[in-house]
Amino acid sequence: MAANDTPRVRNCGTMLVHERLLRTDPSYLSARVASENRAWEAATFRIAGRTGITVIPVVVHVVYRTNTQNIADTQIQSQIEVLNRDFRKTNPDAASTPAAFSALVADARIEFELATTDPQGNPTTGITRTQTNVASFGSDDGVKSAGSGGVDAWPADRYLNIWVCELGGGLLGYAQFPGGPAATDGVVILHSGFGTNGTAAAPFNLGRTATHEIGHWVNLRHIWGDDGSGCSGDDFVTDTPNQAGSNTGMPSFPRVSCNNGPNGDLFMNYMDYTDDAGMFMFTHGQVTRMQATLDGDRISIGYQKPAPVTLKFRDDINTLKFRDDVATLKFRDDVVTLKFRDDNTTLKFIDDNNTLKFRDDIATLKFRDDMVTNPRLDPIKDPQLDKPPIMDRAKMPSGDLAQGTTSDRSLQRVGPAPFILSTPHHSTAWARSYAGAYEDTMAAYEAQIAEYEQFLEQYSEAEAAGQLTASDIAEAEQLYAEYVRLVDEYYQLSNG
């Protein structure tokens, strides 16, 4: 059907279905009574069951006769997005609520997602497509059965069934209240009143027909109380004003009826009959009713949305600042060791990430080795800096050194020592072209051995004072291993 067949005024068939079920299904009446009792108890005693946000798996059954009616996935997705805004109060037009009613606007705490698993447990897109020869469906549930040219429901205790098809009789859609037969549970939407693109046509191209019908599916009544234009009908919600009949099109605030001045009807509510652009809010009382339904008739459907994952740092994040240009600040996936990559322009790390450690006191974000401010780190590029320090020639280390004691003071620490984790190999290379290279090389070894001794002594003192963490001790052990290796090299060179 072409878009010009879209109804000009909202017309919902839910009450027709409701009255038919009351006539034909004896269990429906008792189920409805039970539903209303639960809703009343929830509102009166403020009973809260589900907390947080409930996510409802949705299956969209597209039943089409023409290719046009076989709406695209993107049109379906646009409808899901509308639902997730409207039922979470994140729809931008909620801000258009008149100030007199703004305190009523509520987050329904319901989200929707296309099902990813079908009733048999297989992966699914959450969309079924069925070709039919039925020209248009009505409010008689024909679209909900394969036997009448439609497609059967998925289990209603696990899925919200949405049938999208051509509807006759000026119907935009209809829903089945909780408590009805599972085989027909769900909502039906005219394809040109579904989603925001594709065949969706003004004034019902903002996805609000589905918002309205799903409101019925979680037990919301029309806001005017379904009593024609009288003032005695009730929507069983206390924070919605009493209202005479339905409002259509785009009313102007205020619209007074049933002596409900000065603010008048809550015509911008999803459960009135305005155009899509004219409805943009649920009330707290309606949310209580919906949540009571999720705790009652629809207790088995949906799951609680997990809390968002928060990336936490061990330390006061207020002092850990990154530059705005995070595009170049990359972390590797292996968070166990939290490695940074080298490609940040101003924040540089040495390449050997295995030895890159952060101190516990991140307040000042200190690194052990600052390449920018520590000129001793770059001896290779400057032979003059790499030159071993002139020093008093120390004696050979005693045998005690090789045993790892730090008591032998026969090696004196003199002059600036090389960086602690560097090795004397640089000096060895340099020494090949340097007169007296051997002596200087050995002197460099001695100086570095002395430096290691000093560090090991500091570790020992800190350990005695109980100041070492487990990681500090691990570092000390690594340092000691380096120290032993260095002494071994020294002996090999001195003997060779």
Using the minimum distance from each CB to Zn ion, give the nearer residue, 14 or 247: 14
Closest chain position to Zn ion (CB) = 12
Find the shortest distance in angstroms from Cβ 221 to Zn ion. 8
Name the active-site residue from 166, 213, 446, 453: 213
What CA–CA distance (Å, rounded) separates 69 from 88? 29
Rounded to the nearest 10 degrees, the angle between the axes of helix 26-45 and helix 14-24 is 120
Positions touching Zn ion (CB under 5 A) are: 12, 14
Contacting residues for 84 by C-beta, under 8 A, at least 6 apart: 90, 111, 112
CB 217 to Zn ion: min, Å? 10
The nearer residue to Zn ion, 289 or 490, going by C-beta atoms, is 289
SS3 434: coil
Q: Give 142-199 as a DSSP string.
A: GGG-GGGTS-PPPPTTT-EEEEEE-B-TT--EEE--TTS-GGG-SEEEEGGGSSSSTT
Classify residue 379 by its DSSP letter. -
Which residue's CB is nearer to Zn ion, number 82 or number 450?
82
Which residue, 174 or 445, is less far from Zn ion as judged by CB? 174
Cα 30 to Cα 230: distance, rounded to the nearest angstrom: 26
Measured from the CB of residue 14, what is the shortest distance to Zn ion in angstroms? 4
- Read off the tokens for 7: 């109804």
Active site residue 482: no
Question: Do 279 and 299 contact (CB within 8 A), yes or no?
Answer: no
Q: How far is the CB of 273 from Zn ion (least distance, A)?
A: 8
Minimum CB distance to Zn ion smaller for 226 or for 482: 226
- Give the type of residue at 491: Y
The CB-of-192 to Zn ion minimum distance in angstroms stands at: 17
CA atoms within 13 A on the CB side of 252: 0
Positions annotated as catalytic residues are: 213
